[in-house]
Structure 1
Amino acid sequence: MSKSVVTSRRSFIKGAVAGAVSAGVAPVMAAPAPQNGLPAKWDGEADVVIVGFGGAGATTGIVAAQNGAKVIILEKNPQNHHYSNTRMSGGIFHCPFKDGDPKALKDYAQAMFSGENIDWKEEGEIPEYSEGLAQLWADLSPTNLEFLQSLDPAFIGGSQPGFNKASFPNFPGAKECKYNAYRATYQKRMKNFNQKSVDSPKEETSSGEAFWRCLEEGVKKQGDNIKVYYETPASSLLKNAKGEVVGVVATQNGKPVYFRGKKAVVLCSGGYEYNKPMRQAFLEGPGVDGWAFYGTTSNTGDGIAMGMAAGAGLQKVGKSAARVIVPAQTRYNGMRIGSITPAVGSANSIVVDNYGNRYEAETKVTDNPSRYFFYKAAVTFDISSLSYPRTPSWMIFDEKLRTSKPLVGLGISTVGYGFIDWDEKNEKPIASGLILKADSIEELANKIKQHPENKGRMVPANLVEQVTRFNKFCDDKKDADFGRRPATLGKIEQGPFYAMPLVAGGPNTKGGLLADADRRVLAWDGTPIPRLYSVGEIASALKFVYQGGGNLTECLVYGRHVGKNVAGLPDTTL
């Protein structure tokens, strides 16, 4: 990736991007102000209007068009800076083997979504709708690869060791369902996961970039049946006298524009990772500085706010797919941008709290599936000191690890797409002061103590003792304190030594709008808001636990279901 491209993307993150309507899409002129709640003239009309052009919006639009509907997709980003969570992801999607037991697959999905079919689970997360959601998962997820290859026969589902089985083997149906997941790719032999692919030809891409390129092919195949308006952020929903959602108000070139959805409006605009008030309201612990995310900065809760204004209820909004990750010094909307941090749990490193004590097996941070819940450990509240002792946590490592590999993912996430600048030898974050460096563990502890986020809590003797103890565990090939995987027990002994802050964070939030199994958006009393639907992270089905690749999977499963359903609806009246 050229320096000019990276610089251009960083300028976009700072808000310095000039607006331009995408090639091939006619400019939309602002309509007169609405009268009686509806405009006198619509700037665009289609059977279905979709808000958000990520994996959920693309899949929903493709299938709606395949079923005869005309579709408008509203996307807030410019076409040349269109980086969704889908595109920035690892590209993993679930596709259980077809010879698995369908009933077992439904049971396993229901356990993941809600858990009321697990004997020891106290309360289901979404018991009213989990069975229907699980049935759709069982019906459609085994054909996910087939669907993607129908959009582009060149697309490949790459084998993904560690993900080709049920992550929760004690759940109902886990063994009999023959669970499986793939990593998206166009390469017969996938290259290094760290390879940058955003500017590569399609046939050289893998991970989220390949997944997105496949969906793009599917959109192109629909021709004029799908029209994408870039740089057109949606802001509110319009209802008719019956209370049906009939359109969307958006902004283009600083002016309001009005789009009519004759059959339905589908919200696919993602979570609230970069909405400060929502983070303060919903996330556990310090919601702003105690968290970072490594997905798109475009997820600002727009669809959630729109749905709430239209009367929608909420469901488990505090849920997140998160662990502990490194926060960058770069911010967006006043909040930290993070990066996926796969080096946590590597040999020659440990993770400690602000007092210098280990508190968990570091491999749990990156192992599947514990990595998607580890944020719970990070935001633990000390009821005696009334503080968060693990915010931030500190990854302590030595020169051997520093020189052996990048600490962050270079090919996906925020680094791969130019939001954060990081190098293979990890020298840039050291030079910037993000990573602390010292000639001894004691000196390193004192530097952590002086760090403004540590607030003087570090006890140098604790850190020295913890490193010494860990090194003994390495000699013994057994972590007697936390049972860390023996293969990762490498001593911290080669100076200089380093400390990198870690905060709760991950790719995305999961909670949001209340929606049923058909993904109809519901009011607090459970009644549907007519003709309003949601797909994806804005109302994720994965409310209880999360298996890697689940978010892309629900884009495919529920996007296909909703796309087909809304295409068959009768038109609303104005």
Structure 2
Amino acid sequence: MRLSQIERWDLETGVLVIGFGAAGGVAAIEAHDHGSEVMVLEKMAFPGGLSAVSAGGIRVSDNADEAFRYLRAICEDRTPEDMLRVLADGMVEVPDYLRRLAALNGATIKVTPALGNYPLPGCESLAYCEVSVVPELENGDRYHATHATKNGGRLFKLLEDNVESRGIPVHYRTAAKELIVDGDGAVRGVVAESDGRMLNIRAARAVILTCGGFENDDEMKRQYLQAKPVLTGSFAGNTGDGIRMAQAAGADLWHMWHYHGPYGMKDPTGEFPFALYLKAVPMWTPGYPDSVSDLGIVDNKGKPLSQKALARMAWIVVDQDGRRFMDEYPPYPGDMGVRPFDAYDSKRQKFPRIPAHMIFDENGRKMYAMGRTAYNDPDAHFDWSADNLEEVARGIFEKADSLEELANLMNVDPGTLAKTIEDWNAHVAAGFDPDHGRQPDTMVPIDTPPYYFGRVYPVVINTQGGPRHNVRQEIVNPFGQPIPRLYAAGELGSVFGHLYVSGGNLAECVVGGWIAGREASALEAWET
């Protein structure tokens, strides 16, 4: 909307932050601490976004040069090096930054060395920084709308307390709809909707977009992601609002194809609105057999569990012809688990791996709960049963007394499926998977009826694409020119456009958030 169309201002501030997740929290804190009046808008009735339901491990390093080498390797010429350098430098500063914030509420900050997910230059320099204890959250209660309190929730609680202590107003149920720009293209505020009322909100210094990606916008997923459908993982609020607003102001886009997620299932009853994740398993780095990461491995109450060995995985995954097509346990299942599903069969004009079929036997069914949930939503609810029988009764899994019956339920050729299972069991016995290289410690035979299968799909935890920005977090147009007074932070236009590093988006939330907040607050306020 043009500034000339605005007849009145309903609200005014210095720096206006759109979205109250981790990036928005840091941006608001830093803008305030550097001298600006700040206001935060959050379209949901609750805060936290994806940050509050994440595992909470922020990627950090004690060596900026080595961290830069790793970022440069995983981004593989898709992101300018000056931006990666700034992120690497910030990764060294994050632990002390959080310790300063933790003085407010007694939170515990811990740093744990952790290899990068891929054996690329600089991978040994990395670690996770986590908020491991927040005294107010350790009573087991649900934090806001999160399904369970994990370290992502503890991180957000630390930021929320710091925002509240500074008196920064947060307007919930207030959705930014459109940027207000002047005749020179500078951003002067936003049009927002709150409880059915349209508000014109003036930002005297700048607007910072920290409102996430497009995980829950089906049309954007259809247009930008190859595979379909891609299930929404954990949060309904990320619907591409900031991307569309930035586009309307002239923003360039980047990394729109790239998203982070595993394969998972959906509730056939339709009652649960998000994807059903499969059992969390430790991450591993090829070539480093003794280094396994248990970030995100928790019990059913969200308490961290220590697991320093690869998990036995009870299932295999086959395509619609009954054949395996992937290593079901890649180094980073929560990221690369989705990529094999992109394959398109031009002869049959379909995605033959969507849905694919997850298969296990009775021994596998008894091994552990096959699935879990992770969501930030007050109305969602799903507790996975310990023995998986409730999920069988619900139709998530289907049961058969023989492989032939299983094949018929899956609508695949019985002979093909029988050969797949026969080959798999031979691989397990030999301790070697010649087809897809699955790690021997993870392999489990499928030989005891009854047999089970469930339909699995690609799941998006978060998208990486969005408006392109520069080292100052200024959103830029297709010619690389900054759009005046418009900034972004977090996953809204992430630097990751090739491979992802676990905890990388949280690092962007903190580092990008503080840069955006400081840069925005340094601008001279414009007069009406």
Fold shared, TM-score > 0.5 on shorter chain:
yes
2:180 to 197, 215, 238: 238
Report the TM-score, using the length of structure 2 for normalisation.
0.87
Shift of 1:280: 1.3
Q: How many residues align?
A: 494
Question: 1:172-222 CA deviation, whole Å, 9 max, x = no partner?
Answer: x344xx21113432179x99xxx976249x9x9432111111111221221
What's 1:61 paired with?
28
Shift of 1:406: 2.0
What's 2:350 paired with?
387
Residues 1:71 and 2:38 aligned together: yes
Question: 1:238-263 CA deviation, whole Å, 9 max, x = no partner?
Answer: 01233210101000121101111111
Shift of 1:516: 1.6
| Conserved? CA contact 1:68–1:567, under 8 Å | yes
1:400 to 359, 363, 373: 363
What's 2:487 paired with?
533
What's 1:431 paired with?
393
| Conserved? CA contact 2:31–2:520, under 8 Å | yes
1:495-514 paired onto structure 2 within 5 Å:
495-514=449-468
Unpaired runs of at least 5, structure 2: 282-310
1:118-517 paired onto structure 2 within 5 Å:
124-126=77-79, 130-153=80-103, 154-158=106-110, 164-171=114-121, 173-175=122-124, 178-186=125-133, 198-199=142-143, 205-223=149-167, 226-286=168-228, 290-329=229-268, 337-342=274-279, 346-364=312-330, 367-368=331-332, 371-410=334-373, 412-413=374-375, 418-449=380-411, 458-517=412-471
Question: 1:447-485 CA deviation, whole Å, 9 max, x = no partner?
Answer: 111xxxxxxxx2222212211221122222222322211
| Conserved? CA contact 1:187–1:205, under 8 Å | no
| Conserved? CA contact 2:252–2:477, under 8 Å | yes
Mapped partners of 1:397, 1:357: distance in 2: 14
Amino acid at match of 1:373: M
Amino acid at match of 1:477: G
Amino acid at match of 2:468: L
Mapped partners of 2:58, 2:181: distance in 1: 36
What's 2:302 paired with?
none
SS at match of 1:445: helix
Shift of 1:76: 0.6
What's 2:296 paired with?
none
1:524 to 474, 478, 491: 478
What's 1:89 paired with?
54
Shift of 1:393: 1.2
Question: 1:99-145 CA deviation, whole Å, 9 max, x = no partner?
Answer: x3x32322322333x32xxxxxxxx213xxx2221221122112212
What's 2:66 paired with?
104
| Conserved? CA contact 1:185–1:210, under 8 Å | yes
What's 2:14 paired with?
47
Question: For the aligned residues, what is the CA RMSD?
Answer: 2.7
| Conserved? CA contact 1:409–1:415, under 8 Å | no
Question: 1:295-326 CA deviation, whole Å, 9 max, x = no partner?
Answer: 21111111111111111121121110123122
| Conserved? CA contact 2:265–2:457, under 8 Å | yes
Report the TM-score, using the length of structure 1 for normalisation.
0.80
| Conserved? CA contact 2:187–2:206, under 8 Å | yes
Question: 1:405-458 CA deviation, whole Å, 9 max, x = no partner?
Answer: 222235x33699835453333233322212111122221111111xxxxxxxx2
Question: 1:242-295 CA deviation, whole Å, 9 max, x = no partner?
Answer: 321010100012110111111100111111111122111111122xxx211212
Mapped partners of 1:253, 1:170: distance in 2: 50
| Conserved? CA contact 1:293–1:507, under 8 Å | yes
What's 1:10 paired with?
none
State, as a whole percentage, how many aligned pairs show the same letter. 28
Mapped partners of 2:378, 2:460: distance in 1: 15
| Conserved? CA contact 2:274–2:375, under 8 Å | no
Mapped partners of 1:517, 1:554: distance in 2: 12
Mapped partners of 1:213, 1:83: distance in 2: 9
| Distance verdict in 2 for CA 1:84–1:330, change over 3 Å | farther
Amino acid at match of 1:269: C
SS at match of 2:61: coil
| Distance verdict in 2 for CA 1:330–1:545, change over 3 Å | farther
Q: Which one is further off, 341-350 or 64-73?
A: 341-350
Shift of 1:342: 3.0
SS at match of 2:349: coil
SS at match of 1:461: helix
Amino acid at match of 2:90: L
1:16-31 paired onto structure 2 within 5 Å:
none
Amino acid at match of 1:96: S
SS at match of 2:372: coil
| Conserved? CA contact 1:436–1:500, under 8 Å | yes
